[in-house]
């Protein structure tokens, strides 16, 4: 039997963006307090019964979010040539956090990012994941 444990942590960042080509007022630069939930899938537990320490995941998420915090997202390299929509931000964070998790080595053995949820405003969210 395959066991799955999905751990989640939350974070937030403040950033501005504009949506080039958008027919409404979001084409103008404006800001959001973005909410982020990161989900990490583990199938093995360590000797004390943990898949991965929540503090480890929070630290990695905080590091990833710090690259976006208090920035105009349109000016950042990950969004060159594409609008920093909630969808594109979620995909970017999925890969960024995944890379950071993989770099942790044996502490994160077998753990992987399973999905990222971004809330642009309360009640407006997008979830991104990739099929393994």
Show me where the domains of the chain are located: 5-13+40-128
Q: Which two tokens stand for residue 52?
A: 């991965």
Q: Which residues pair with 32 in a beta bridge?
A: 15
User: For residues 98 and 103, what is the distance between their CA atoms, to the nearest angstrom?
Assistant: 9
Cross-strand partners of 127: 117
> Tokens 């105009």 belong to which residue?
72
* Per CATH, domain 5-13+40-128 is 3.30.479.10: yes
pLDDT 10s digits, 39-78: 999 998 888 999 999 999 999 999 999 999 999 999 999 9
Summarize the confidence of residues 1-30 as an average pLDDT: 96
| Dist. CA 14–CA 120, nearest whole Å | 10
């Amino acid at each position: 039997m395959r066991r799955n444990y999905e751990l989640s942590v939350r974070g937030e960042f403040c950033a501005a963006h504009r949506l080039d080509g958008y027919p409404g007022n979001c084409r103008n630069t404006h800001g959001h307090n973005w909410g982020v939930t990161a989900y990490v899938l583990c199938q093995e537990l360590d000797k004390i019964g943990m898949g991965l320490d929540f503090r480890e995941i929070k630290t990695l998420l905080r590091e990833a979010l710090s690259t976006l915090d208090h920035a105009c997202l349109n000016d950042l390299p990950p969004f060159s040539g594409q609008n920093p929509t909630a969808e594109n931000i979620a995909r970017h964070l999925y890969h960024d956090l995944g890379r950071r998790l993989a770099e942790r080595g044996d502490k994160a053995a077998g753990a992987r990012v399973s999905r990222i949820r971004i809330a642009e405003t309360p009640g407006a969210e997008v979830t991104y994941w990739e099929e393994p």
